[in-house]
């Protein structure tokens, strides 16, 4: 019994520490945003903010990821578009919004088939299969 309590306590403490580390990362990323030009660096910062929120606040993750996607599309920044579409799909999947997840995965698939290697598309087919 004591072993189980110890394991649970370690888990709770480690998730709290991880959340605290995420908070510090988020604070530093938010601090960087105001002075940024509308460029790929800012798109990457927005993506990293969304990615940082992913593990504990999916609504905030979606907010930042959608902003990253919009800026990446405006800049025609393909890497930012790919990463944002995939993470938005994963976030919807984590929330149980499988229809939305599939919508973003299909958008990403269409984008990747026109732009990148078949290996990335193969990984995406795995994500789509998981949703089904």
Give the model confidence (pLDDT) of 7-48 as tens digits: 343 443 344 434 455 678 787 777 777 888 999 999 999 999
Counting Cα atoms < 13 Å in the Cβ hemisphere of 54 gives 19
Distance CA 118, CA 102 (A): 19
Q: What is the pLDDT of residue 130?
A: 83
Give the model confidence (pLDDT) of 65-98 as tens digits: 999 999 999 999 999 999 999 999 999 999 999 9
pTM of the full structure: 0.74
Q: What is the pLDDT of residue 116?
A: 56
């Amino acid at each position: 019994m004591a072993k189980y309590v110890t394991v649970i306590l370690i888990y709770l403490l480690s998730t709290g520490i991880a959340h605290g580390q995420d908070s510090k990362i988020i604070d530093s990323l938010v601090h960087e945003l105001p002075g940024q030009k509308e460029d790929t660096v800012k798109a990457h910062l927005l993506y990293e903010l969304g990615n940082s929120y992913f593990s504990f606040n999916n609504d905030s993750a979606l907010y930042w990821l959608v902003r990253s996607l919009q800026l990446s599309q405006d800049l025609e920044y393909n890497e930012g578009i790919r990463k944002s579409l995939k993470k938005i799909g994963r976030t919807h999947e984590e929330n149980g919004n499988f229809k939305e997840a599939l919508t973003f995965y299909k958008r990403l698939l269409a984008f990747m088939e026109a732009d990148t290697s078949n290996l990335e598309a193969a990984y995406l087919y795995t994500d789509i299969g998981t949703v089904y």
